């Protein structure tokens, strides 16, 4: 009778197991830029170029994969806003691209944003609409009916109106809106605002905020 010998598999420590399953941390907003008369928290100031009343996001950071939500945006150092109208001109990257306008930001991973793109939501459902982040992946909170908005590489006039008492945000691009640019969320309320992109470069100028 022969005895079989087995090599015992090494036991993994609890710390190692946690390290293998832990979600990646969002890079901290550790630096600042000055633009539009305010201070803005960013991951790295070198990712941004400010010239007069124009801000260019010159470095596209990979989108966060798990959870899947944008991280490359400038966050205003100001009190939470429960009601505002934002007017700004934006420019997407070439030959295709998209950008975001953040609102109702409360803490890392808890915010909403307006996504503007050359793609229609009916073609790419995670583009051109209103999105909600609540500790996990971003989810769409607006219908998919409506055309793409940033159809050219020119500058486009954007208007965003938010009212936390109704949870309602509406956006217009070059004076036009659609169901895809209207969303409702009552879970966050007042929050900070920002601008950036999911995974592209982008330009912003003539920022006007009315509270």
| Residue 16 pLDDT | 46
Q: Residue 20: pLDDT above 50?
A: no
Quote the tokens at residue 66: 């798990």
For 56-90, the pLDDT digits (tens) are 999 998 776 789 999 999 999 999 999 999 999 99
pLDDT for the residue 65: 76
Confidence of residue 7 (pLDDT cuts 50, 70, 90): very low
Residue 113, classed as helix, strand or coil, is strand
Q: Identify the three-state secondary structure at position 71.
A: coil
> Is residue 130 over pLDDT 70?
yes
DSSP-derived secondary structure for 151-211: -SSS-EEEEEEEETTTTEEEEEETTB--GGGEEE--SS-SBEEEEEESSS-EEEEEEEEE-
User: CA nearest 73: which of 110, 113, 129?
Assistant: 113
Number of helices (H), then strands (E), belonging to the chain: the values are 1, 17
Confidence of residue 5 (pLDDT cuts 50, 70, 90): very low
DSSP character string of 163-176:
ETTTTEEEEEETTB
Question: What local confidence, expressed as pLDDT, does residue 66 receive?
Answer: 82
Does the pLDDT of residue 163 top 60, yes or no?
yes
For position 115, what pLDDT does the model report? 98
Q: What is the pLDDT of residue 15?
A: 45
Mean pLDDT calculated for residue range 168-190 = 98
Write down the pLDDT at residue 62. 77
User: Bridge partners of 74?
Assistant: 195
Q: What average pLDDT score do residues 109-117 get?
A: 98
The whole model's pTM is what?
0.89
CATH numbers and ranges of domains, the chain: 49-210 (2.60.120.560)
pLDDT tens per residue, range 134-143: 999 999 999 9
């Amino acid at each position: 009778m022969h005895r079989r010998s087995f090599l015992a598999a090494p036991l993994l420590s609890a710390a190692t197991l946690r390290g293998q399953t832990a979600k990646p941390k969002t890079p901290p907003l550790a630096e600042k830029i000055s633009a539009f008369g305010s201070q803005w928290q960013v991951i790295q100031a070198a990712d941004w170029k400010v010239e007069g009343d124009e801000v260019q996001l010159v470095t596209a950071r990979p989108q966060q994969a798990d959870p899947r939500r944008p991280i490359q945006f400038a966050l205003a150092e100001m009190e939470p806003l429960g009601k505002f109208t934002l007017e700004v001109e934006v420019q997407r990257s070439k030959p295709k691209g998209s950008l975001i306008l953040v609102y109702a930001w409360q803490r890392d991973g808890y915010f909403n944003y307006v996504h503007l793109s050359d793609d229609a939501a009916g073609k790419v459902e995670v583009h051109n609409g209103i999105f909600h982040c609540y500790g996990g992946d971003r989810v769409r909170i607006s219908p998919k009916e409506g055309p793409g908005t940033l159809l050219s590489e020119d500058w486009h006039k954007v208007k965003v109106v938010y009212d936390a008492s109704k949870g309602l945000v509406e956006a217009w691009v070059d004076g036009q809106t659609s169901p895809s640019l209207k969303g409702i969320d009552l879970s966050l309320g007042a929050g900070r605002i920002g601008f950036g992109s999911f995974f592209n470069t982008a330009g912003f100028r003539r920022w006007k905020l009315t509270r």
